[in-house]
Chain A
Amino acid sequence: MAAEQGGLTGEFSTDYTAALRRYLRTGAEAELQAAHDLGRRALQRQVSILEVVEQHTRVLEQQGADARAALPFLLQTLAALDVAVRGYAEGARRYEQQRARAESLQDRDTFRTALVNALQEGFFVAGADGTVVEINDAFAEITGYGPDGLPYRWPHPWLPDPDRLRDRLGAGAEAGRAQAELQIRHRNGHLAWVAVSMSAVAGDGRTFVGTLRDITAARKAAARDSALMRLATAAGVATSVGEVLAIALEECRTAIDARRLVAVSWPDGDAEPVLQVVGEPADRPDFDEPLRAVLRRARDWPPLTVAPVPAADDPGASRGVVAVLSGTPVTVLWLEHRVPRPVSTDGRRLLAALVGHLSLAVQHVRHFETAREASLTLQRAMLPGDRPPPGFAVRYEPAVPPLEVGGDWYDVLPLDDHRIGIIVGDCVGRGLPAAAVMGQLRSSARALLLTGEEPARLLEHLDTVAEHIPGAYCATVFLAVLDCRTGRLRYSNAGHVPAVLAAPGAPPVLLDASGSVPLGIRRRRGRPQSDVTLPAGAALLAYTDGLVERRGSAIDDGIAHAGRVLAALPGAAAETVAERVLAELAPPGGYDDDVAIVVYRHGPAPLHLDVPAVPERLADIRARLADWLCAAGVDQPLHGDVVLAVNEAATNSIEHAYRGRPPGRVRVDAEFDGTRLCLRVADTGAWQPPDPAPRARGRGLPMMRAVSAGVTVRSTADGTTVEMVFAVGAPGTEPAADSASLHT
């Protein structure tokens, strides 16, 4: 029966039969071991349990053996198969579980993929070595690199600066989290800003997930804002339209590569526009007609319009941008690019914002400029503008910059042809309020001076005036009238520092004889006045206390110092004296109070020359006359004209007066009273009429007449006298400019 089953099964049943028989005979454990091995073999060879049982039963029948005795053998054989059966059920269960888990995982995978792709932010997975192994659609959009290029090894193609990124993210990567803002280059070339955030996958340490967000727009907006902030801040302290435009140009230089900014306005309606240029080239730009047409049209555009102007040869690029500022008068800006270029949307946005701020800044500065102009105009109106008469020098130094006026003032007014009024005054206070009072007092004092009354009376009138001017109370004034012909100075002093007089060869004296109270203070009697006669060559100094008053020293010391300076400069012209006084009395840090000074150098004693009438003495005459004219303070070109005219007259005397006789003498006399210069050239010979044949020199009389205010020739048998009069320094006029001066 065993032979009926062929092959393996046959072999198995043979071995089984043999082993069972042995066990039935011996009952040995070794046979049970064999049964165990048979069972394993049956499992391996996939022998059916049914067949084992059948074979077992057959052998028992053959042997006639007891089933119970044989049971252990059967059980041992089936043990392996039994274990397998039990394992099957477990395995099937486990398989089912795994399948379910796998399906659930697949669902989750699908879900994950959908989620990742729905993100607006770019998503990526990268290994610790930097290789990007997974990305989503948004990542591809932001960087331009899609999933076909995966994996992207380090350094990534979208990074223009990989090492920087490694530095910035490296430390964070160690810690498991990192964030950074950086620039990337899109596949199509343009640069963008992104914010990157990544973190390590927990427990792994080798994998990172992260997101990428495009922040280009936000950064551009921030850059725009800071450009505007810079503009607003800088423009806030600008003091001229030019400064504001320069600041705007700087911002536009970076934003749109502008090299020049031109502000065009039409203050006179349709006349030629006024241009203001900042940048290079700085000369007046030569606009071609198309651009000029655009600028003219732009006058009618709505304010804050920004429009690029296309380049002539490249319609895609513009040569510059035209913008219209708001406010009046209409101002059109022309922003010229360095080279023609397209203007991006961001550029236009920035410009639109800039133009708005610029308009405000320009308006403010214009107001400021207008106000400053008005202030300066008013201030200058309060200053004495005329040149002082000859022999006088004036200086005015207000204490409070940037003001050009203060509470002090001076005036030197010719009253008629031989009298000059001199006033130096000092209002209470400093700065503009004092200047306002000063202006009113000054006008009143001038008007009063011109009435020609006596100084004391004039000051009394000024007292009355001062009562009606708020702030004029206690102003101090020194008022004097000088008679140039006699040298008499009549003066009155209302509380002011005393004038100083330095006569040559004598110690300086103070003119303090007629002092009284300041303006506006009640007096019981009239004001005093005094006379003093100025010796020839004397110097007079009238001033305000800013010159001499110093903290920590007595004012008398300052006044004495001024007197010493005056006395140390005998013969020096008034201008020189004024310079030296200011320089020597200045404190180390400069004057800290208003200073006004008037210096007068009284004319020198008349010149009397009496020399032999020979040609050799002409040079001598000229030299002595020139010295005398300098001392008298007569400047060029009059100085030269006088010397020339006198030289002519003297030459005539020398050549003609003593012809045919032994040479006599020629006298030259000169006198100056401050306004008139009189020169006399006299001889005691007979003056021949001019040779009918004109020689090279013979223009004499006509020339003298041309340069002087008048020539008189008196010819008698006793001699000839030529008198010439020159008018000197009537305020504002240059006598030599009217006549044909030989020196021009």
Chain B
Amino acid sequence: MPERTAGAAAAELHLHTEADLIAVRRAARRLAEALGFPVTDTTEIVTAVTEIARNITAHAGRGVVSLAAEPRDGRTALVVRAVDEGPGISDVARALEDGYTTTGGLGLGLPGARRLMDRLDIETRPGRGTVVQMWKWVSGGG
């Protein structure tokens, strides 16, 4: 069990099934609370992580999500990395548009996650998998 101390609540989780989603949510909530995010921010973080994780299970089948507190632009941020070796995204710009979905869902996933977090980067190559990195800065220093 990861420790409940700020800076030490990092986690790395493997995703296989829907059940793993809950574990990811729990880890994200713990890290967010450890870093002192208020409840609305925590909700947003967990929601974003869930969306990204769901993309992995829906498109790639399996992947790895890692959570940590890392400096970004000189400030501490909660950083989420989601890596899969799935089919990749062929049109990233379009994927970041609302409503674009290839699975018949709401199409909220990626653009929604981007709105919920402060930054979202995607590295993807068709056939070579995807790496999504997103973070939210801790407010008031930390």
**Residues of A participating in the B interface, judged by any CB pair closer than 8 Å:** 29-30, 32-33, 36, 40, 43-44, 71-72, 75-76, 79-80, 83-84, 86-87, 90-91
Contacts and interface: CB of A to CB of B under 8 A. Distances in A.
B106 A72 contact: no
Nearest to B21: A33
B121 interface: no
Given A40-B106, A43-B108, A84-B108, 20 more contacts: A29-B22, A29-B25, A29-B29, A32-B25, A33-B25, A36-B47, A43-B106, A44-B106, A71-B39, A72-B43, A75-B39, A76-B43, A76-B46, A79-B44, A79-B116, A83-B47, A83-B108, A87-B111, A87-B112, A91-B98
A86 B25 CA distance: 23
User: Nearest 5 A-B pairs (CB), nearest first?
Assistant: A75-B43, A79-B47, A83-B112, A29-B26, A87-B98
5 contacts: A29-B29, A43-B106, A79-B44, A80-B47, A83-B47
Given A33-B22, A43-B106, A91-B98, A83 B116 contact: yes
B102 interface: no
A166 B44 CA distance: 64
Contacts of A90: 98
B57 interface: no
A516 to B, nearest CB: 124
Contacts of A71: 39
Contacts of A91: 98
Given A36-B50, A75-B39, A91-B98, A80 B25 contact: no
Interface in B46-67: 46-47, 50
Contacts of B111: 87
Contact of A75 (B40, B50, B106, B112): B40
Contact of A87 (B22, B50, B115): B115
A80 to B, nearest CB: 7
Interface string B17-34: 000011001100100000
Contacts of A43: 106, 108
Contacts of A76: 43, 46-47
A76 B98 CA distance: 20
Nearest to B43: A75
Contact of A33 (B50, B98, B112, B115): B50
A595 B9 CA distance: 134
A612 B109 CA distance: 160
A30 B44 CA distance: 16
A32 B22 CA distance: 9
A32 B46 contact: yes
Contacts, number: 51
A33 B21 CA distance: 9
Interface in B109-126: 111-112, 115-116
A86 B115 contact: yes
The bracket for how many chain B residues form the interface is: 20 to 34
A52 to B, nearest CB: 14
A622 B80 CA distance: 151
A261 B54 CA distance: 99
Contact of B108 (A30, A33, A40, A72): A40
A95 to B, nearest CB: 11
B57 to A, nearest CB: 13
Q: Is the interface of B mostly helix, strand, loop or mixed?
A: helix
Contacts of B98: 87, 90-91
Contacts of B26: 29
B39 A80 contact: no
A708 B30 CA distance: 166
Nearest to A76: B43
Nearest to A77: B43
Contacts of A75: 39-40, 43
A72 B38 CA distance: 11
Nearest to B113: A83
B94 to A, nearest CB: 13
A87 B96 CA distance: 11
Contacts of B21: 33
A44 B107 CA distance: 11
A151 B112 CA distance: 46
B20 to A, nearest CB: 12
A270 to B, nearest CB: 98
Given A33-B50, A91-B98, A80 B22 contact: no
Contacts of B47: 36, 76, 79-80, 83
A492 B108 CA distance: 140
Nearest to B116: A83
A83 B115 contact: yes
Given A33-B22, A75-B39, A86-B115, A80 B46 contact: no
Nearest to B25: A29
Interface string B80-119: 0000000000000000001000000010100110011000
Nearest to A79: B47
A173 B106 CA distance: 48
A454 to B, nearest CB: 132
A693 B39 CA distance: 181
B93 to A, nearest CB: 12
A72 B39 contact: yes
A72 B47 CA distance: 11
Contacts of A80: 47, 106, 108, 112
Nearest to B109: A83
B18 to A, nearest CB: 9
A40 B112 CA distance: 12
A68 to B, nearest CB: 9
Nearest to A43: B106
Scoring A36, A43, A71, A83 by chain B CB atoms within 10 A of each residue's CB, the highest score goes to A83
Nearest to A87: B98
A44 B99 CA distance: 12
A33 B24 CA distance: 11
A193 B109 CA distance: 63
A87 B106 CA distance: 12
A74 to B, nearest CB: 9
A495 B98 CA distance: 128
A71 B43 CA distance: 10
Contacts of A72: 39, 42-43
A29 B46 CA distance: 10
Given A44-B106, A84-B108, A91-B98, A79 B43 contact: yes
Contacts of A40: 106, 108
A80 B116 CA distance: 10
B45 to A, nearest CB: 10
Contacts of B42: 72
A75 B40 CA distance: 7
B31 to A, nearest CB: 13
Contacts of B115: 83, 86-87
Contacts of B25: 29, 32-33
B142 to A, nearest CB: 21
A75 B47 CA distance: 10
A36 B29 CA distance: 14
B11 to A, nearest CB: 14
Nearest to A68: B39
Contacts of A33: 21-22, 25, 50
A71 B40 CA distance: 9
A369 B21 CA distance: 117
A33 B54 CA distance: 12
Given A83-B115, A84-B108, A87-B115, A30 B22 contact: yes
B7 to A, nearest CB: 22
A84 B44 CA distance: 13
Contacts of A79: 43-44, 47, 116
Contacts of B22: 29-30, 33
A316 B23 CA distance: 101
A78 to B, nearest CB: 8
